[in-house]
Amino acid sequence: CDRQPIIAIDGPAGAGKSTVARQVATELGLVYLDSGAMYRAITWLVLQKGIAIDDECAIAELANQCKIQLIPSEDLQSPVRVWINDIDVTQAIRSIEVTSNVSAIAAQNAVRQALVEQQHSWGKKGGLVAEGRDIGTHVFPDAELKIFLTASVSERARRRQQDFNKQGQPEVSLEQLERDIAERDWKDSTRKVSPLQKAADAIEVKTDGLNVSEVTAQIVNHYQQRLSQW
């Protein structure tokens, strides 16, 4: 088949997936796909419409009808702008309210089916660095390179706190962030449909003590090694 290569990056919240995937895509001239932003956008819409989080029928209908767009932008803070039904929700989908509800909505089968279908259509020609929870196991199981990024809960909470400080958001304690991250890890990895799991053929990259450039360099290196084997 003449599809371009796909790099799948999965892992828990705060492991560095978005930052690193973006940088890998830039270095290799590939397109970056943030699948988490799609689950966040649906969650934002559900909350905005006042639909109950457990109303699976109404949410399924919404997921099947909505239009999600991920549009590259020049803004370094938000290099991809996220739109749902022609509303720019780039900032709104990062709110605490969306973050604390997204795992419940992402666990719903119909939501996953609708979004995975969209991801498949974007990935048809390849040339992608896609990141999320189920990219290597479920969305693109034939990806040429699969990376499973991890870091300890305390390291991930520390990173999130730094992000909040940089964005001028209200102070959240490290203990609270650790609890939130551990809870989301648990929900994402124990759900029935497409749980967060390391694919059998994924390379695990532990990022404690490594900066973004070091992790990016490791992944680019793995990619080049794979390329030389094809």
Binding site for ligand CDP (CB under 6 A): 11, 13-20, 35-37, 39-40, 102-103, 106, 132-135, 159, 163, 184, 188, 207, 210-212, 215
Q: For residue 211, what are its two tokens? A: 């900066």
- Nearest to ligand CDP of 12, 126 (CB atom): 12
Q: CB 57 → ligand CDP: shortest distance, Å?
A: 20
Sheet-wide strand order for 80-84:
68-72, 80-84, 87-88
Q: CB 86 → ligand CDP: shortest distance, Å?
A: 21
- Nearest to ligand CDP of 163, 201 (CB atom): 163
- Nearest to ligand CDP of 93, 228 (CB atom): 93
- Nearest to ligand CDP of 140, 223 (CB atom): 140
| Separation CA 209–CA 102 (nearest Å) | 28
Closest alpha carbon to 134 in 207, 208, 198: 198
Q: CB 210 → ligand CDP: shortest distance, Å?
A: 5
* Amino acid present at 190: T
Please name the residue ranges forming H helices in the chain.
17-28, 35-48, 56-65, 96-106, 109-123, 153-166, 174-190, 212-229
**Count of C-beta atoms within a 10 Å radius of residue 74:** 6
Give 172-177 contacts, CB < 8 A, sequence gap 24+: none
Q: For residue 99, what are its two tokens? A: 């973050």
* Amino acid present at 114: A
| Separation CA 52–CA 46 (nearest Å) | 8
* Amino acid present at 68: I
Q: Which helix (H) or strand (E) holds 69?
A: strand 68-72
